[in-house]
Chains A and B, each alone.
Chain A
Amino acid sequence: MKKLSKLIYIILTGTFLLTSCKLEDKNIITPYQNAIYTWYSSQYEQLNKKSESLKSDTWFLYFDEELVCDTCKLQILNAVKDMDNVVLLTHFGNEVKVELFKSTYKLNNIVFDGISKKGTSLSIPFLFRSRDKSMYALTIIDEEFLEKNSLKKILSEKL
Chain B
Amino acid sequence: MVIIEIDNIHYKREVILDSLFRTSRIIILETSGDNLIGSYDKLMISDNIIYILDKKVTQAIYAFNFDGSFRFKIARLGEGPGEYREIRDFTVASGSDHLELMDFPGGQILKFDKLSGELEADVRLKKNTYYAAFEKIGNQYITAHANNCGLLEDCFNLSFHDHDFEMLSTHFPIHTDLLKNNYRGEFHFSRNENQILYKEVLNDTIYKVDPIDQQVSAAFAIDFGKYKIPDTFKYSRKNSGLESLIKYGQLNQATWGIHDFYQSSNVLFIRFPLPNLRTLYFDLKSAKGISFDRYKTNNLFYLGDPISAHQDDFISQIPAETIVGILKNNFYTKDSIAVREYYKEFFDKTKHIKNDSNSILVFYEVKI
Most B-side CB within 10 Å, residue of A4, A24, A92, A101: A4
- B182, A7: Cβ atoms closer than 8 Å: no
A94 to B56, CA, bound (A): 13
Give the interface size class of chain B: 35 or more
- B294, A20: Cβ atoms closer than 8 Å: no
- B104, A104: Cβ atoms closer than 8 Å: no
Inter-chain contact total with CB atoms closer than 8 Å: 119
A123: min CB distance to chain B, Å: 9
B106: min CB distance to chain A, Å: 9
- A11, B276: Cβ atoms closer than 8 Å: yes
A19: min CB distance to chain B, Å: 4
A75: chain B residues at CB < 8 Å are 85
- B242, A18: Cβ atoms closer than 8 Å: yes
B41: min CB distance to chain A, Å: 11
**Chain B proximity mask over A1-25: 1 for CB below 8 Å, otherwise 0:** 1011101111111101111101010
- B338, A69: Cβ atoms closer than 8 Å: no
A66 closest partner in B (C-beta):
B56
- A1, B339: Cβ atoms closer than 8 Å: yes
Is A73 in the interface zone, CB < 8 Å from B?
A: yes
Is B27 in the interface zone, CB < 8 Å from A?
A: no
Interface of B is mostly: loop
A104 to B60, CA, bound (A): 9
B88: chain A residues at CB < 8 Å are 70
Is A58 in the interface zone, CB < 8 Å from B?
A: no
A33 to B92, CA, bound (A): 42
B295: chain A residues at CB < 8 Å are 10, 12
A20: chain B residues at CB < 8 Å are 148, 181-182, 184, 241
Is A96 in the interface zone, CB < 8 Å from B?
A: yes
- A14, B277: Cβ atoms closer than 8 Å: yes
- B276, A65: Cβ atoms closer than 8 Å: no
> Contacts A1-B342, A65-B56 hold; do A17 and B185 have CB atoms under 8 A apart?
yes
Return the contact of A14 from the options B57, B180, B276 (Cβ within 8 A): B276
**Chain B proximity mask over A42-81: 1 for CB below 8 Å, otherwise 0:** 0000000000000000000000011001110111001000
**Chain A proximity mask over B284-299: 1 for CB below 8 Å, otherwise 0:** 0000000001111110
- B276, A96: Cβ atoms closer than 8 Å: no
**Chain B proximity mask over A93-105: 1 for CB below 8 Å, otherwise 0:** 0111100110111
- B356, A5: Cβ atoms closer than 8 Å: no
A71 closest partner in B (C-beta):
B105
Return the contact of B243 from the options A7, A9, A18, A100 (Cβ within 8 A): A18
A70 to B87, CA, bound (A): 8
- List 17 other contacts, CB 8 Å, given A70-B88, A105-B77: A5-B296, A8-B297, A13-B276, A17-B185, A18-B246, A19-B185, A20-B184, A20-B241, A22-B182, A70-B104, A71-B85, A73-B86, A75-B85, A92-B57, A96-B356, A100-B57, A104-B58
Chain B residues at the A interface, C-beta cutoff of 8 Å: 34, 36, 38-39, 55-60, 75, 77-79, 85-86, 88, 104-105, 148, 180-182, 184-185, 241-243, 246, 259, 271, 273, 276-279, 293-298, 300, 303, 321, 326, 329-330, 335, 338-339, 342-343, 355-356
20 contacts between A and B (CB under 8 A): A1-B339, A4-B330, A5-B298, A8-B298, A10-B296, A10-B303, A11-B276, A12-B279, A12-B293, A13-B276, A18-B185, A20-B148, A20-B182, A70-B86, A70-B88, A95-B355, A100-B36, A100-B58, A101-B58, A121-B243
Instruction: Please list the 6 inter-chain residue pairs (A to B) with the smallest Cβ-Cβ separation, ordered nearest first.
Output: A17-B185, A14-B277, A19-B184, A20-B182, A71-B105, A70-B86
